Amino acid sequence: MNDSTHPPALVIFDCDGTLVDSEVVAAQAWSEYVAGYGVALSAEEALARFRGVSMTWCLAHIEALHGQSLPQHFEQELRALMARLLEQQLQPINGALDMVEKLHLPFALASNAPHHKIELCLRVTGLLPHFAGRIFSAYDVQRWKPDPALFQFAAARMGVDAGRTGRAGGRHEGGRPAGAWRSPGHAGRRAGHHPSVATACPPGLRRFLRSRQFR
């Protein structure tokens, strides 16, 4: 398949850092909350360490810094603080809402976050109506990106061959960029064996779609 002449059958968006600027808010919550456990972690450090990684990895890291097991209520209270800050501060990524409103290709959302956080972020930023019924969480399959299982699940639920999807946004475990746009077939290939052809932000994807008249 030639990427320059064939549009993908489905665009799969990430959420955090692609559609909404939630990573910065989450980093602030981490910094504020762990201070109560004697862990010194600035928002900047939290953003650098925790961007794009699973909650399990983050909790293990904080537990190591804390030097002892975290209480059972730790994650619940942390998520509650995150939710309050997201309600107060969250903004969409510049250009995301306009791009989604004008995108003339089928699209869905696949995120490592749980459904309640995804829906909160989309509701606060006005994006939820565009993704209703097309939101997929790693918690649905108990497999977290960069494992391709979530994208394959989303594609199957949308009735599309995973080999004909394009992925917008996302990062590998540890925060390394996974590439904003993956050409058709990315879901079944090893990382690094599928070319990135757009940047990791909505303007980059918009330019890519416009250049190929996939709007």
Six token digits for residue 137: 């969480």
**Which of 50, 180, 197, 155 has its CA nearest to residue 113?**
50
Six token digits for residue 189: 């290939």
User: If you search the block for the tokens 């989303």, which residue do you land on?
Assistant: 154
Q: Which is the catalytic residue, given 14, 16, 21, 161?
A: 14
Q: Give Cα separations from 88 to 30, 49, 74, 118, 208 (angstroms).
A: 16, 24, 22, 16, 33
User: If you search the block for the tokens 């399959």, which residue do you land on?
Assistant: 141
Q: How many CB atoms lie within 10 A of CB 192?
A: 9
- Distance in angstroms (rounded) separating the CA atoms of residues 163 and 117: 28
Tell me whether residue 14 is one of the annotated catalytic residues. yes
- Residues forming the active site: 14
